[in-house]
Amino acid sequence: MKNNLQNYIKRKVTFMFVPHEGGKPVHVKFQLPLLHAAVLILVAILGWALWIESQDVRDAELLAQARRMKEQMEDIQREMRDNQASLERMAKLDSQFRQILRLKNARKMASLPPLGGPTGEDSEQLTQLLKEKDTEFLDKISLGLKAMNQEALRREASFREIQVQIDHQRSVIASTPSIWPVKGWITSGFGKRMSPLTGEPGRHMGVDIANETNTPIRATADGMVTYAGWEGGYGRLVVIEHGYGFSTRYGHCSRLNVKVGDEVKQGQVIGYIGSTGNSTGSHCHYEVRIHGMAVDPMQYLPVLN
């Protein structure tokens, strides 16, 4: 073993360099152990250089990843701020609608975490976040988004309630007599009057609107026809139930344009002026009733210019 080591140390290697021009060859001698040591040192240097290069690449990738995440977080932060501003505008509209419609304020939600999104300080910790795999920052964003989603759902429910109220009021408005049933002039008002046929005192349950025979008579509100036919002194009569206690009557028609069960819209032609029944001339007898009680139709007729 000792002899082998000594022989290895004494061994030499000769490199011969021969010039192309035909000059004298050059011989260079090296001890074999030194040559091996030089090769090992060179390999170690190359390995160290490659490791340093890989670390630089890894650090550059981490830095680029951190930069991308920071940009994404800033985008999320801006979006959350915009969404929060939208929710605040919705809350203001919600309050205004409720004041107009005289609705109670929507129930307030339990206290929620801030909705402002990540802070600048959070963004600066992104590199550390990548290295340590810390989820606290992302949890904060998640909580903010969940809170914003809950607030959006609450606003949606509130607007649905407002929608129901608006639909109800729209239905009430559509069911309330609010236009003239026929063009013409008032020849007899609502209340006490002498009967034009007998001269006896009585009570007039509506108003008489005179015009030429066959002038169109129109429904003064949306509703359903519950009677269409002959009715004693009314002559040919149309009765429309509008809902919410409202009903209207149109008497002395020359002919009818609807039948029982028809759904009619405000302004739809339901018949034509005539002088059927107890009548002294061509006109439309128009009544408005609330829960069956006759009221003065003039309260529901718009003023004509």
Residue ranges per structural domain of the chain: 1-174, 185-300
pLDDT of residue 95: 75
Least confident of 4-13, 172-181, 183-192: 4-13
Q: What is the pLDDT of residues 37-47, one digit of tens each?
A: 777 888 888 88
Q: How much of the chain, in percent, has pLDDT values that exceed 90? A: 35
Least confident of 8-12, 250-254, 256-260: 8-12
Q: Band of the pLDDT at 227, cuts 50, 70, 90? A: very high
Give the best-scoring range by mean pLDDT among 11-25, 79-93, 265-279: 265-279
Q: Band of the pLDDT at 108, cuts 50, 70, 90? A: very low
Give the count of beta carbons closer than 10 Å to the beta carbon of residue 228: 22
pLDDT of residue 42: 83
Tell me the mean pLDDT in the region 242-252: 95
Tell me the mean pLDDT in the region 293-304: 91
Rounded to the nearest 10 degrees, what angle do helices 32-101 and 2-10 cross at?
90
Domain spanning 185-300, CATH class: mainly beta
Is residue 284 a contact partner of residue 278, using CB atoms and an 8 Å limit?
A: no
Q: Tell me the average pLDDT of the chain.
A: 79
pLDDT of residue 113: 41
- What angle is formed at CA 169 by the lines to CA 165 and CA 173, rounded to 5 degrees? 170
pLDDT of residue 200: 61
User: In this structure, which amino acid lies at residue 57?
Assistant: V
Q: What is the pLDDT of residues 165-186, one digit of tens each?
A: 888 888 888 899 999 999 899 9
Say which residue, 197 or 277, is predicted with more confidence.
277
Q: Band of the pLDDT at 213, cuts 50, 70, 90? A: very high
Least confident of 133-142, 224-233, 255-264: 133-142
Is residue 144 a contact partner of residue 91, using CB atoms and an 8 Å limit?
A: no
